[in-house]
Each structure stands twice: as structure tokens, then as C-alpha cells.
Structure 1
Amino acid sequence: GIDMLDAPVSGGEPKAIDGTLSVMVGGDKAIFDKYYDLMKAMAGSVVHTGDIGAGNVTKLANQVIVALNIAAMSEALTLATKAGVNPDLVYQAIRGGLAGSTVLDAKAPMVMDRNFKPGFRIDLHIKDLANALDTSHGVGAQLPLTAAVMEMMQALRADGLGTADHSALACYYEKLAKVEVTR
């Protein structure tokens, strides 16, 4: 008898260090309950999402949302910059409203500071989006925005940015607009 769960995490290195990762767990509920305290000791959130495989699907959904949020943020800050509005002031104005998010707070400052030191590399996000698209095809779901963002990331990889942080997705928009988003 070997117990098995799939339990991908989200939160990156900072949340791993401070023990506040989000764990998405798939597997038998009784096995989940048996190991819950162990997982909770290293995580801020541990959620049973269904049978084996559900944790992985949840992680793919997480990665889709992160990618699309970075794309939306990049598009919006590029618009502001191109229109002559200070992107840092735009960020400060919108972060407390409905557009505010963990992604916005983590990635907008990186873009404006031109800090693309990898926390999560574009190459790895391409892999995750490819897995999400493969899964979507297998279940008959269409993910047109995911496909579009993956193509943008692939273009950045072709430009030599595959090892940059996924916030460098902003560079795709900047290149199209011929502008650089800075403070």
C-alpha cells in the first residue's frame, strides 16, 4: 500500500521560503485527510480539488490565469505609457480597485524597474501553457487567449528572452508599441 496524491504548488520561491505556498491536491479524500497536516505545515493554503489529476488541472488553470493577468497588465501599462500617462501612477491608481491582483503587485514593479531576473521563466510558462492547451484539447475546451499568450511568449523566446521572468511578456507589447514601460 502506497498512498498517492498529486499536489502541485503555487507561490514561487518567496512563498516557499516563508511557508505560505498554495497547494492544489488531487487524490482520494481519505488520503488527503491523512496527509493534510503535513502539507499544511509548509503551506498557507491546502485545498483538495478532486480525484488524482485534479491537482494538476488546477495548477494548469492557475498558470493560465497568471499568464493572462501578466498579458493584461502589460497591455494596459503599455497603453498608458504610449498615451503619455505615467505607468507607475496608473499602477498606484488601479491596484486598489477591481483590476488589483497579486500578479499586478508582483509584476508591474518588475516591469517598470526593468527587472526581469527570473522568478518564473518564460520557458517554463510556455511549457505550462502547452500542457494547458493539450489538456483543453483532450476535454474539448477552447482556450483562445491562452493560445495567443503562448504565441507571444514563444516570440519572446525566439528573441532570446526565454530565461527571463514571465513579466518580460511586457516586452512583447513594448516592441509593438515602440515604447518602454518605466517609472
Structure 2
Amino acid sequence: IKGGLAGSTVLNAKAPMVYSRNFQPGFRIELHQKDLRNTLQAADSLRVPLPLTSLVQQELMALINEGKGGLDHSAIVQFTEEAAGIEVRKKGEA
């Protein structure tokens, strides 16, 4: 992914954090959720649907309810891991 169109500075910065399970806060989940809430309120006032943004906000709220609101927002991967019953790892690592 990193070498293709989907590559980004954020991916380059956050992927190593996910692989090493380092979710020490840079930008906390609780702050990310607040920003998404503000975005969704603004979109609602303009009658602009943002269904995927709403979905991400729900995932962040689930993590906050699990006591993970103080973690870095890269810890959102934990929501998907728990739902899928897997752990994201670097290729070749057991």
C-alpha cells in the first residue's frame, strides 16, 4: 500500500506504531472523536450526509467506552482487530 496511490505521510508514521503496539498518545482518540462530532454537527446543519464519518465516530466511541480514549488515534485498529478476531502484524512476523 505504501508504494501505491494509497500511501501517505500518516500511513508512514502510524503503521510502525500499530506493528509495535505503541499507542502512546500523539493525537488522542477522545480528541479525534470530538472533532468528528463537530464535523458531523456542521454537516447536519448543512444537510450533508457523511455516513462513513459517522461510522468512524461510532468506532471511536466504542473504544472510548472500553477505556481507550486516551490512546493515540492509531489505536482505532484495535476496533477492527477485535471485530475480526485478528491482530495486525508486519508481514513475516508471527
Taking structure 2 as the reference length, what is the TM-score of the superposition? 0.92
- RMSD value over aligned CA atoms? 0.8
Q: Report SS of the residue matched to 2:4.
A: coil
> Which residue of structure 2 lines up, in the alignment, with residue 177 of structure 1?
84
Is structure 2 residue 15 aligned with structure 1 residue 103?
A: no
Q: Which runs of 5+ in 1 are unaligned?
A: 1-93
Is structure 2 residue 60 aligned with structure 1 residue 158?
A: no
Is structure 2 residue 75 aligned with structure 1 residue 168?
A: yes
- How many angstroms apart in 1 are the aligned matches of 2:53 and 2:9? 19
Select the residue among 30, 35, 44 that pairs with 1:123: 30
- How many angstroms apart in 2 are the aligned matches of 1:102 and 1:181? 19
Deviates more, 1:157-166 or 1:100-109: 100-109
Deviations 1:2-47 (A, max 9, x none): xxxxxxxxxxxxxxxxxxxxxxxxxxxxxxxxxxxxxxxxxxxxxx
Higher RCO, 1 vs 2 (CA within 8 Å, ≥6 residues apart): 2
Q: Which runs of 5+ in 2 are unaligned?
A: none
CA shift, 1:178, in A, is 1.0
> Which residue of structure 1 lines up, in the alignment, with residue 49 of structure 2?
142
Give aligned-pair identity as a percent: 53
**How many residues end up aligned between the 2 structures?**
90
Aligned AA (2:67):
G
Q: Report SS of the residue matched to 1:160.
A: coil
- Which structure would you say has the larger Rg? 1
- How many angstroms apart in 2 are the aligned matches of 1:142 and 1:163? 28
- How many angstroms apart in 2 are the aligned matches of 1:102 and 1:139? 31
